[in-house]
Structure 1
Amino acid sequence: MLKESSVSKTLSRHGIDVTVVEQAVKASHAALGRRQKGDGHWVFELEADATIPSEYVLLGHFLDRIDTALEQKIGVYLRRIQGDHGGWPLYQDGRFDLSASVKAYFALKMIGDDVDAPHMRRARAAILQHGGAERSNVFTRIQLALYGEVPWDAVPVMPVELMLLPRKAFFSIWNMSYWSRTVIAPLLILAAYKPLALNPRGVHVQELFKRPPARIKDWIRGPYRSVWGRVFTYLDKALRPIVPHIPRSLHEKAIREAVRFIEKRLSGGGLGAIYPSMANVLMMYRVLGVPDDDPRVVQAWEAVQGLLVEKEDEAYCQPCVSPVWDTALSGLAMLEASSGAGAVQPAETKAALEKAAAWLRDRQILDVKGDWAINAPDLRPGGWAFQYENDYYPDVDDTAVVGMLLHRIDPEKNRVAIERAREWIIGMQSSNGGWGAFDIDNDLEALNHIPFSDHGALLDPPTVDVSARCISFLSQLGHPEDIGVIRKGLDYIRSEQEESGSWFGRWGTNYIYGTWSVLCALNIAGVSHDDPMVQRAVAWLESVQNEDGGWGEDCASYEGAPQGVYKTSLPTQTAWATLGLMAVGRRDSEAVQRGMAYLAQQQDEQGEWHEAPYNAVGFPKVFYLRYHGYKQFFPLMALSRYRNLTSSNSGQVEFGF
C-alpha cells in the first residue's frame, strides 16, 4: 500500500489530491514498463480453474509421457485451490463444481496422493454428495471413458461423419463456434476409435461413483433448458444402433476429412491455440499410430508445453496465452500515462510503444482466410488473433483494440494495418448489428440444446462488449462512410440494455465490464451523455459503488447473483467503472473521485495492484478466467485518464477506450 502520509491526503475537501494521482501513475507506468519483453510485447499469466491442469496430468498418463517432478508441482497447485466445501470451484471462492472436482481428484490420485489423505476424503465425500462422477458433464465423462471408467455409452453420440456435412446442414460443424469446431474435430476421431489410455500406473476412480457405471442406463438426461433438449435426447437414442452400421467407406472418408481439417489448421500455436483442442490432437495422433517423433506430434506437444506456468514450488497449465490482447491493452495504458500535461517519460514510452506496434503489425493476419470466411468468402483477412499464432481464428475484439492502439500511436505509419483491420471488422458485422468474437451470425441457438452441449456454449453469437469495441474503433477512425455500420451497431447495443441500466459482459466479469465497454463506445460514437440509456447506466454504476470507493463483482453474477456486487472492491473493476463514468463526462463526480482514491490507496510500493478473484469468463457457468495483467494495466489507464482530463480541464474523452 502507499505510505500512510500519502493515503491520508488522497481525498481533500475538493476531491482527490492530484499529486497522489501523479505518483500512482508514475509508479504504475514504471512497473508496467518493466514487464515489457525485449521484442516489444507484453504477456501475463492467464489462469483458469482446476480443470486444465488436471487434464494436463491425465493427458500425460494417457500417452505415458509423465514428468514426475512437474506433476508434483501441479499437485501443490491443485491442493492449494481446493475449496472449503471439499471440492474445486470454477473461480476464487466459488461454489462446488462436480466436474472440476472429479478431474482434480483423478489427477491427484494419478500424481500419487493417498485416497485416505484428509483432502482426498473430503473431495470424495463432496463428489458423492453431489451425485457422484456419473453426474459430471460431458467433457468429464469423455475423460473417464478414455480411461475405461465409464462405457462410451456415457457419452452423447457424435459420429465422425459430422465432418462431411455441408454448411447448410443443421448439425454441420460450421454452425458451431471456433472453439467447438477445433475441440470436436479430433474428438470425433477419438470417439470413433474409442481408445483406452495407457495409464501405466493403473489408476482408477471407481470410488467416485454412487452406482457401478456398467449398470447405469440414464447417462444422457436432463435437466433440459428447452423442449429441444428432450427432442435431441430421443434423437441420440435413435442414432446409437444406426452408427455402427454406417458404411465403412463413408466412415473412413469422414476420418480422413477430420484429419485434413485439423492438419490444415495446425501451427506452432497448436490447433486453435487452446488447450482442449491441442490435447485432443495429441491423443488423436496416438490413436492413429503416428509416432511421438513425427514432426506433427513434436509440434503439437511443444505447443502444449508452451502453456505451462512453472514456479519454484507449484505449476499449472493455462487454457491458452494472451500476448496480443495483453500488448494492446498494456500499450493503451502506457500511452495514456505518457500523454497530456503530466506525461510520464513521453520519449522513452514512445520508443517502447513503437516496438510494440511493430510487433503487432508483424502478427496481423493478411494472407489466411480462416474459418470466418465460410460466411464471408469475399472478405479480405485483416485481423489479429489472441495468441502468438492462430491464423485461422483471428477475433474482432483483439483486432479493434489493436487498431485503436495503432491509430493512437501513429495513424500514418500504421495506416495500411489500420485500414485492413477496419475493412475486416466491417465485414464481420452480424445481421442484427452486433459482432461475435470469431464468426458472423453464429447463433443457431437450438444447437446449444444437443446432449453434447450440456455446457450451453457451442455458439459464438454477437455480444455487447465485443460490439462496443468495434463501434469504438470505427468511431475513433471517423470515416463518414462507416456511419451506417456504427448506427446499426448502436441500435443493437440499445436493444440489449438490461432493465437495471447495465449491460451484460460476455468476456469480462460482468455487468461492470459490459457497462464500461458500452459507455466508452457511446461516447466516442457521439451519443449524448444526456441520453436516457446513458443516464440509466450511470445511475446503475453509481448505485453499486462500495463504501470504500471501489467496485467489485462476483463471477456468481453469471449464475443469477446480484449484478455488480462482491464482498470486496477490486482494482480491475474499479478501473472499469471509473473509465466508464469518465467517458460520459463524470470526471468530477463524487463516485469517480472516490474511485480514484481507492485505486491510489490500493497500489503497493512497487506500483502494482493485487487481487485474487477471477475477472473474466470463457463460458458463463462453465469456465472462468483470471487475467493476471488486468489488475496492472486497467488501473493505470483509469488513473492516467483522470489525470489527463484534469490537466486539460475537460470532461471529454477523445478516444473510444
Structure 2
Amino acid sequence: MSETLVREKTDDATINTAAVERAITSAHQALGGRQKADGHWIFELEADATIPAEYVLLEHYLDRIDTERQAKIGVYLRRIQGKHGGWPLYHDGGFDLSASIKAYFALKAIGDDIDAPHMARAREAILDHGGAARSNVFTRFQLALFGEAPWSATPVMPVELMLLPRKAFFSLWNMSYWSRTVIAPLLVLAALRPKAINPHKVSVRELFVQPPEDVKDWNLGPFRSKWGHVFKHVDTVLRPIVPRIPRKIHDKAIQAAIDFIEPRLSKGGLGAIYPAMANVVMMYRALGVPDNDPRVETAWQSIHDLLVEKEDEIYCQPCVSPVWDTGLSGLAMMEAATGPRATKRDETIEALKRSASWLRDRQILDVKGDWIVNTAPDLRPGGWAFQYENDYYPDVDDTAVVGMLLHRLDPEGNKEAIERAREWIIGMQSTNGGWGAFDIDNDMDFLNHIPFADHGALLDPPTADVSARCVSFLAQLGHTEDRPTIERALAYLRQEQEEDGSWFGRWGTNFIYGTWSVLCALNIAGIPHSDPMIQRAVAWLKRMQREDGGWGEDCASYEGAASGQYKESLPSQTAWAVLGLMAVGERDSDAVKNGIQFLAQAQDEHGEWHEEPYNAVGFPKVFYLRYHGYKQFFPLTALARYRNLGDSNTGRVEVGF
C-alpha cells in the first residue's frame, strides 16, 4: 500500500463545525446560482480529443467548414495534447493511438503545419506506436471515408444485418442502444462507400508506417479470447460473399436502416450521442438528401447543440446531461436544505418545485422504446432519458435518481410520476437480478469479440452501480410488494463484490464510485451494517484514504492499474467515499472526519471545487468522461449529509442516495 494512504488519526477536536456550515452555505448558494430559470441544471460534459476532432473532420467531409469555429477547436486540441506527444483518453493519461490520429488529422485540416513542433511530436509518437494501420475500428472507418485507407481496412459489417430478427446471432437487437444507433447509419455508409468532399485535399498518409495499400492485415488484435480468432476467420470468409448479395436484398436492408433511424430522429439527435448524429448526417449526404431537408437540418442542429464555446476555444461534447445534472443537483440542494441548521429551506423548496415540474415534463410516458423488442413488449414507459430529448432511450439510472428526488421533495404531489418510474424500473430488471442502463439481459458477451467490437463495449449488461441505484430508489419508496425484486438485486450485488471488498463502477471512476453506490443501496435496503459484505467494503475505503484525508482514483484502474488510488485527492471521489461510509454508520469515524475536513478546506472562495482529472467512463479502456458538475454537487451532498446526521436522533441515512 502506498505511503501516501492515511491511517486513522483524527479526533473530534479537529472538525470545525462552523467551517463545515460555512462551506455548506457557500456551496448551496453557488449551486443554486447555476440553476436555470425553468428549474433545471446543466453542466459541461467533456470527453477526449476524439469528439472535437471528429467534428472538425465532419465539416471537411461535408464541405461545411466554419473557419473561425475550427480555429477555436484547434486551440482546444493543442491545449490538451499530452507530454508524450500524442493525445490521451483522459487528463494526464497515457498515449492513445486512435485519439492521436484523429487529433493530428483534425489539426492538419485546420491548417497546422505538419513540421510545427507539436505536429512533429505527435507524428513521431503515432509512428512509434505502429501508425494509422493499427488504429481502432472507428478510426479506420474515418480513414476509409476520407480515402486514406481502403474499405478492406474495416471489418465486414453488411447492411443486411438490419434485416436480422432479434433471435439471430448477429442481430442489432442483441447489442446496446448506443451500438444500435451508431451502427445503423454506419452500415449504410459502409454499403455506399462514399468519399469525403475534403475541399482542401487533406491527407495523412505520413501517419502510416507503410503505404495503406500495402497493409496485408488490418485486424491483428490483440484479441480478448479465442473467439476473436474465430470471428476474424468468419470475417475473412464473408468478404467475398457480401458483394454477391442480390441487389434487391441490399436495397431492402438500406431501407430497413432508414426505417429504424427516422422514427428515432429528434431535436436531440439520433440516440442523442455525437457518433450516431454524425453518421446520420453523412448517411443522408451519401443518399443524396439535400442539406436543407428537415431531417438533415434537425440532425445538423443537434450536433451544433453539443458545442461548448469559450472565449478562445471550442470543444464538442459527446452528449449533454441535463436530466442527470438536475437530479443530482436537486438531491444536493435538498440535503443542504434539510435539518434544523439548514438555511433558506423555503426558498430552496420553491426552486426545487420548478425542477420537479421540469423533470415531470420530460418523463417519457407515451413512447415505447427499444425495450419493447428486447423482451418487455408489455412494459409501460415511465423513465427519463439522460439528455433533453431521447425518447426511445430512457435509462434506469437517471430514472432512479429523478425518482428519489421527486419522492424526497413531495411524495404525494409527484405520486403519479414516481409510480410510473417504479413500474418501469421493476420491469427492466434482468434475469440475474441486476439492471443494465438501457436494456434487459443485454449480455451476449461473444458479440464483444467480433472484429467490429474492438472497443469491447457493444453490450449493456447489468452492473453494480446501476443496480444499486435501482435498489436505492425502490427501497426508499418502501413498497412491501417490491421486496422480492430488491432481494434478487441484493443477491446480485453480493455476488458482484470484488475480493478486496469494493465494487466495480461501470459508469463512474471507478471502484470508489461503485462502492459508494452499493453501500447506499445496502443501507436503505436494510442490510445490517455489521454484515461482512459491508464491513469488507468499509475496510477497503479506509485503506484507500490518502494522507490529506481525501480520496482519488485513476482512470487507469480500468486498464489494470491499482484500484482506488491516484496521485492526488479529488473532491468528487472524496465525496463518494464519505457518503458511502456515512451510509453504513461511519459518520463519526476518523476516516469520515478527515474526508469532511478535506472537502471544507478544498473549497474556493466562491463556494465551488476544482478538479481536472476525469471522473466517469463511457467505455472502459476506450472512452472516458469528465462531468463538470460532479465536483460541485457531490461535495455539497457529502458536507450537508455529515451535518444532518450529526443533528439526527437516529444517525442513520433514511434516503437511498
The alignment's TM-score, normalised by the length of structure 2, stands at 0.98
Over residues 522-575 of structure 1, what are the superposed CA-to-partner deviations in whole Å (9 max), with x where a residue is unaligned?
000000000000000000000000010000000000001001000000000000
Separation (CA, whole Å) in 2 of partners of 1:170 and 1:458:
14
Size of the aligned set, in residue pairs, is 647
Correspondence list, 1:41-440, <5 A: 41-374=40-373, 375-440=375-440
Distance in 2 (CA, whole Å) between partners of 1:305 and 1:250 is 35
Q: Are the equivalent residues in 2 in contact too, given 1:341–1:648 (CA < 8 A)? A: no
Question: 1:651: Cα distance to partner?
Answer: 2.3
Aligned amino acid, residue 231 of structure 1: V
3-state SS of the aligned residue for 1:181? helix
SS in 1 for 2:626: strand
- Partner in structure 2 of residue 477 of structure 1: 477
What one-letter code is carried by the residue in structure 1 that aligns with 2:580?
G
Distance of 2:12 and 2:24 partners within structure 1: 22
Distance 1:645 1:56, change over 3 A: same
Q: Distance in 2 between matches of 1:405 and 1:65?
A: 43
Tell me the distance in 2 between the aligned counterparts of 1:67 and 1:443. 42
The 3 A distance-change label for structure 1 pair 621 and 392 is same
What's 1:530 paired with?
A: 530
Is 1:548–2:548 an aligned residue pair?
yes
For the residues of structure 2 that align with 1:656 and 1:419, how far apart are their CA atoms?
Answer: 16
The amino acid across from 1:656 in the alignment is: G
Matched to 1:628, the amino acid is: H
Q: What is the aligned partner in structure 1 of residue 447 from structure 2?
A: 447
Residues in 2 aligned to 1:373 and 1:500: alpha-carbon distance in whole angstroms:
39
Partner in structure 2 of residue 640 of structure 1: 640
CA contact (8 A) 1:366 1:380 kept: yes
Distance 1:130 1:215 in 2: 18
Hey, what's the Cα distance between the residues in 2 that align with 1:12 and 1:377? Answer: 56
Hey, what's the Cα distance between the residues in 1 that align with 2:613 and 2:419? Answer: 38
Q: Contact 2:434/2:489 (CA < 8 Å) preserved in 1?
A: yes
State the AA in 2 paired with 1:572: S
Q: Is the 8 Å Cα contact of residues 465 and 518 (structure 1) preserved in structure 2?
A: yes
Aligned residue number for residue 624 of structure 1: 624
Counterparts of 1:431 and 1:631 in 2: how far apart (Å)? Answer: 35
Partner of 2:3: none
1:571 corresponds to: 571
Letter in 1 for 2:79: R
Post-superposition shift, 1:649? 4.8
Give the conservation status (yes or no) of the 8 Å contact 1:385–1:391.
Answer: yes
The aligned amino acid for 2:542 is: E
Displacement of 1:652: 0.5
**1:614 alignment partner AA:** Y
1:322–1:387 CA contact under 8 A, matched in 2: yes
2: CA distance, partners of 1:333 / 1:185: 39
C-alpha distance in 2 between matches for 1:168 and 1:528: 43
2:604 aligned residue: 604
Matched-pair contact (CA < 8 Å) for 1:221–1:233:
no
Residues 386-419 of structure 1: per-residue CA shift (max 9 Å, x gap): 0000000000000000000000010000000000
CA distance, structure 2, for counterparts of residue 252 and residue 344 of structure 1: 64
Alpha-carbon separation, structure 2, partners of 1:90 and 1:573: 19
The equivalent residue for 2:6 is: none
The code of the aligned residue for 2:647 comes to S
Asked if the contact 1:163–1:258 (Cα under 8 Å) also holds between the matched residues in 2, the reply is yes
Task: Report the CA distance between 1:13 and its aligned residue.
Answer: 5.1
What corresponds to 1:6 in structure 2?
none
- 1:3 corresponds in structure 2 to none
Q: Which amino acid aligns with 1:124?
A: R
Instruction: Quote the offset at 1:17 in angstroms.
Output: 1.5
> Hey, what's the Cα distance between the residues in 2 that align with 1:559 and 1:651?
38
- What displacement does 1:227 show? 1.0
Deviation at 1:53, TM superposition (A): 0.1
Q: Deviations over 1:45-64 (max 9, x none)?
A: 00000000000000000000
Q: Is the 8 A contact 1:529 1:535 kept in 2?
A: yes
Q: How large is the Cα RMSD of the aligned pairs?
A: 0.7
**Matched residue, 1:26:** 25
Contact 2:436–2:462 (Cα < 8 Å) also in 1: yes
- Secondary structure at the counterpart of residue 169 of structure 2: coil
The one-letter amino acid paired with 2:522 is: L
2:7 is aligned to none
Aligned-pair distance for 1:220?
A: 2.0
* 2: CA distance, partners of 1:130 / 1:141: 15
Letter in 1 for 2:284: Y
Provide the C-alpha distance between the structure 2 equivalents of 1:220 and 1:641, rounded to a whole number of angstroms.
51
Q: CA deviation at 1:343?
A: 1.1
**Do the aligned partners of 1:21 and 1:600 also contact (CA within 8 Å) in 2?**
yes
Shift of 1:224: 1.0
Structure 1 position 650, deviation (Å) = 3.6
Q: Which letter does structure 1 place at the counterpart of 2:169?
A: F
Cα offset for 1:264?
Answer: 1.0
**Contact 1:376–1:427 (8 Å) recurs in 2:** yes
TM superposition shift of 1:15 = 4.0
Equivalents in 2 of 1:623, 1:141: separation in Å?
A: 17
State the identity as a percent. Answer: 75
Aligned letter for 2:571?
A: P
Report the secondary structure of 2:617's partner residue: strand
CA distance in 2, matches of 1:493, 1:530: 17
Q: Distance in 1 between matches of 2:588 and 2:574?
A: 16
Query: Displacement, 1:341?
Result: 1.0
2:290–2:296 CA contact under 8 A, matched in 1: yes
Q: Is the 8 A contact 2:11 2:590 kept in 1?
A: no
Deviation at 1:146, TM superposition (A): 0.4
Cα offset, 1:633, TM superposition: 0.1
Native 8 Å contact 2:132 2:207 kept in 1: yes
Instruction: Name the aligned partner's letter for residue 643 of structure 2.
Output: R
**Amino acid of the structure 2 residue aligned with 1:74:** I
What letter matches 2:447 in structure 1? L
Structure 1: state its 5+ residue gaps.
1-10
Contact 1:29 1:344 in 2 (8 A): no
Return the alpha-carbon distance in structure 2 between the equivalents of residues 502 and 639 of structure 1: 23
Q: Deviations over 1:156-187 (max 9, x none)?
A: 00000000000100100000000000000000
CA contact 1:510–1:564 (8 Å) conserved in 2: yes
Distance in 2, matches of 1:441 and 1:354, equals 36
Answer whether contact 1:586 1:651 (CA < 8 A) is retained.
no
Distance 2:494 2:343 in 1: 38
CA contact (8 A) 1:511 1:564 kept: yes
Find the aligned partners of 1:23 and 1:636 in 2 and give their Cα distance: 11
Distance 1:405 1:364 in 2: 14
Q: 2-side partners of 1:573 and 1:342: how far apart?
A: 26
Gap change, CA 1:525 and 1:13, over 3 Å in 2? closer
CA distance in 2, matches of 1:221, 1:605: 53
**8 A Cα contact 2:144 2:151, kept in partner:** yes
Q: Once the two structures are superposed, what CA deviation does each residue of 1:264-287 show, in whole Å capped at 9, x if it has no partner?
A: 110010000000000000000000
Q: Secondary structure at the match of 1:128?
A: helix
Q: Which aligned runs of 4 or more in structure 1 are off by greater than 4 angstroms?
A: none
How far residue 18 of structure 1 moved from its aligned partner, in angstroms, is 1.1
Whole-angstrom distance in 2 between the partners of 1:334 and 1:615: 21
Q: 1:344 offset after TM fit, Å?
A: 2.3
In 2, Cα distance between the equivalents of 1:49 and 1:230?
A: 30
Asked if the contact 1:128–1:209 (Cα under 8 Å) also holds between the matched residues in 2, the reply is: yes
The separation in 2 between residues aligned to 1:148 and 1:627, in whole angstroms, is 35
Q: Measure, in 1, the Cα distance between the counterparts of 2:266 and 2:210.
A: 43
- Partner SS, residue 618 of structure 2: strand
1:497 matched residue in structure 2: 497
Q: 1 CA distance for matches of 2:509 and 2:306?
A: 23
Looking at structure 1, the residues matched to 155 and 126 of structure 2 have their Cα atoms a distance apart, in angstroms, of 22
Q: 2:4 maps to which residue? A: none
